Amino acid sequence: MRIGVPKEIKVHEYRVGMTPSSVREAVHQGHEVLVEKGAGFATGLLDEQYAAAGARLVDTAEEIFAEAEMIVKVKEPQPSELKMLREGQLLFTYLHLAPDPEQARALIQSGAIAIAYETVTDARGGLPLLAPMSEVAGRMSIQAGAHCLEIGQGGRGMLLGGVPGVPAAKVVILGGGVSGTNAARMAMGLEAHVTVIDVNLRRLYELDLQFGASLNTIYSTVDAIEEHVLGADLVIGAVLVPGGASPKLVSEEMVKRMKKGSVLVDIAIDQGGCFATSRPTTHAEPTYIKHGVVHYCVANMPAAVARTSTFALNNATLPFILALADKGYARAFGENPHLLAGLNVYRGRITHQAVADALGVAYHPAAGVLAA
């Protein structure tokens, strides 16, 4: 199969879909890999390394999209890229379609076969291609939140861990999944007072066993969220509905009642965000202040540590890239229901239930459209 790796063009996105090591694996198995020149430059992955791994370097993204049978990216295709997709072409990347009807419409019109990293599953019910970036985003959320608490950023002027004789900041994390757990670990490491709120009692039990008395675990109710959010200095939104839009757990009225200079970091912004006042921001302008509360809502947080993120992502995606290339999508889907769960758009039809529900469009079961 001919695999194409274009340079990412989303604002301040520096990750790359395949590393030279991943390219070498694909070439070793008999595939051809086209890489746009400069695609990995920002992460220290040079064109010379890609060439040595067996890639064919090309000058433009147009050449990639015109020749490749499968496009491997990191972030959702931007408008100029959507126009270059063609019928039957495989697209393997993060999509986050639930809050993005325009992208969904363009993918439907293209006739392409779009597989979303974030809905591929595993035998334990996890999301193996989302997990590495959730780990990065969870850890980064505390770094970002601590910075935003500084006076110069509009924050309350608090040191997250305090100092002897001065209270540490109160950190509340909504969601105890992969990103929430990593956020909790970082916040506890900085000696903040940390509370995780989740609706899953089993997960709260696991967190309690893992972290003990250092972590406060609370069952999620409207009352509990309100009580803890209003008392917090830093709130991390880490709620995930696989493929679907994030629930708005913090209302605008609640934000108005928060302490002046407190901080909201919305990891869930890729799926629409879990704060009513959230709107996507970029690394160029990561924050804004609304109702006296600092909002950090960068939609591609892991891009700030692009080298770490690229290698972590490639470790997870490579087996699926090779399966699609070795077997073709039909056989790969047929043999692996977890990969099939990643299929979001197939030749003009939405094939993921949560995505269809969020967009208010017809749902076509993936197995059915493939069989037809």
Cα gap 56→39, rounded to integer Å: 12
Catalytic residue among 31, 96, 295, 364: 96
Known catalytic membership, residue 266: no
Residue from 304, 338, 307 nearest 324 by CA: 338
Long-range contacts of 356-364 (CB under 8 A, 24+ apart): 357/244, 358/97, 358/98, 358/99, 358/243, 358/244, 358/245, 359/97, 359/98, 359/101, 359/104, 361/104
Known catalytic membership, residue 270: yes
DSSP state of 298: B
Cα gap 53→335, rounded to integer Å: 29
| DSSP states of 75-139 | SPPPHHHHTT--TT-EEEE----TT-HHHHHHHHHHT-EEEEGGG---TTS--TTTHHHHHHHHH
Catalytic residue among 100, 266, 270, 352: 270
Do the bridges between strand 113-116 and strand 90-93 make them parallel or antiparallel, or are there none, so unpaired?
parallel
Helix, strand, coil fractions of the chain, as percent rounded to 5: 45, 20, 40
| DSSP states of 142-172 | HHHHHHHTSGGGTS----TT-BTTBPPPEEE
Give catalytic residues, as residue numbers.
Answer: 96, 270
